[in-house]
């Protein structure tokens, strides 16, 4: 298993390099001169040319990319064009806010969506099932930014129960986390329901019920255990989506996270900041994907044995 994890970590390297190359290419080829943006519209051509030379912008594209990757491997992501401060310091200051939003959103969606999906599957074609499916469809169709604004109006401005903006206290994460969770909760409900319906129709479920095993025990111990793999997959995918969806909530609720940082950096063509942010997001999602694979091994012995054989008997 240790060798399997090591091989997966190695496989992340070309993924991160490929993503970084694509982002670097897009930023390099899009209109706009970083030196011009830094100095402003009133800068002279001589000053712009001198700054471009200092920043290495006159070098060939591939040379600049290799130089950037070489520095990133050493932990040097350069200085922000916008603030002239180390990129890594500002990134690490904002990353926790985005991670907290994503984790809270995924956690709330899973804790509420999975039980509701199970109940909906068990109570198929009843009033509960129909109401659950309607709720899931409506929540899937509602845009996150509109939902966030409505929650802000209701619970922050009208009822004054939680802060409207900011992340100075833990209460400030409640509304954005709920905004992220509701849409993904609908996905979790639909995925859990469809997976459970498929499992409870299997022969071994009917056999267990025929032997007198209680329906509650069959659902929770046998059916749910075999339906968890697609659910775990959905949770992992949702985390990646939350990292992107958190950018919208950060903007709506004025939370200083990676979302607002990337948007500001793209507008001002702050290449080092955009590159570092995208690399960190890609690395986080890759690590979460690896964690999902390890969780598979816990729930399904077949996956564990397959990973063990791939990793080698001495792993």
Give the confidence band of 131 by pLDDT, cuts at 50, 70, 90: very high
Give the confidence band of 127 by pLDDT, cuts at 50, 70, 90: very high
**What's the pLDDT score for residue 22?**
92
Give 292-303 pLDDT, tens digit per residue: 877 777 766 666
Can you tell me the mean pLDDT for 177-187?
85
Asked whether the predicted pLDDT for residue 244 surpasses 70, the reply is no
Percentage of the chain exceeding pLDDT 70: 94
**What's the pLDDT score for residue 315?**
40
Query: 116 Cβ partners below 8 Å, 6+ apart?
Result: 132, 185, 189, 192
**What's the pLDDT score for residue 314?**
42
Which range has the top average pLDDT, 43-47, 117-121, 210-214, 244-248? 117-121
Taking the C-alpha atoms of residue 80 and residue 86, their distance in angstroms, rounded to an integer, is: 6
**What's the pLDDT score for residue 304?**
58
Give 183-217 pLDDT, tens digit per residue: 788 888 988 898 888 888 888 888 888 888 888 88
**What's the pLDDT score for residue 1?**
66
CATH 1.10.3720.10 for domain 95-267, yes or no, is yes
Which range has the top average pLDDT, 25-29, 126-130, 137-141? 126-130
Can you tell me the mean pLDDT for 273-277?
89
Can you tell me the mean pLDDT for 160-183?
82
Which range has the top average pLDDT, 2-11, 41-50, 123-132? 123-132
**What's the pLDDT score for residue 173?**
83
Q: Please, what is the average pLDDT of the chain?
A: 82
- pTM for the structure as a whole: 0.77
**What's the pLDDT score for residue 313?**
44
Which range has the top average pLDDT, 96-105, 188-197, 243-252? 188-197
From 29-38, 70-79, 98-107, the region with the lowest mean pLDDT: 29-38
**What's the pLDDT score for residue 50?**
85
């Amino acid at each position: 298993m240790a060798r399997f994890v090591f091989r997966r970590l190695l496989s992340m390297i070309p993924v991160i390099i490929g993503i970084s190359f694509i982002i670097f290419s897009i930023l390099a080829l899009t209109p706009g001169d970083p030196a011009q943006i830094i100095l402003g519209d009133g800068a002279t051509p001589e000053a712009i040319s001198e700054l471009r030379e200092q920043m290495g912008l006159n070098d060939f594209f591939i040379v600049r990319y290799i130089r950037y990757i070489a520095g990133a491997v050493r932990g040097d992501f350069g200085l922000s064009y916008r603030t002239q401060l180390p990129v890594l310091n500002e990134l690490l200051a904002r990353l926790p806010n985005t991670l907290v939003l994503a984790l809270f959103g995924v956690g709330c969606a899973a804790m509420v969506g999975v039980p509701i999906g199970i109940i909906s599957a068990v109570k198929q074609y009843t009033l509960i099932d129909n109401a659950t499916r309607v709720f899931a469809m409506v929540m899937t169709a509602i845009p996150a930014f509109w939902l966030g604004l409505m929650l802000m109006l209701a619970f922050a401005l009208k009822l004054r129960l939680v802060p409207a903006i900011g992340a100075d206290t833990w209460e400030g994460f409640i509304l954005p986390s709920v905004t992220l969770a509701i849409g993904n909760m609908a996905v979790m409900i639909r995925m859990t329901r469809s997976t459970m319906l498929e499992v409870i129709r299997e022969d071994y479920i009917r056999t267990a019920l025929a032997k007198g095993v209680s329906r509650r025990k069959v659902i929770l111990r046998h059916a749910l255990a075999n339906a968890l793999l697609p659910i775990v997959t959905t949770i992992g995918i949702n985390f990646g989506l939350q990292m992107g969806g958190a950018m919208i909530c950060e903007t709506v609720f004025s939370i200083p996270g990676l979302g607002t940082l990337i948007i500001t950096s793209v507008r001002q063509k702050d290449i080092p900041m955009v590159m570092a942010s995208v690399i960190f997001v890609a690395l986080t999602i890759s690590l979460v994907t690896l964690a999902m694979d390890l969780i598979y091994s816990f729930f399904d012995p077949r996956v564990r044995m397959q990973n063990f054989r791939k990793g080698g008997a001495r792993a």
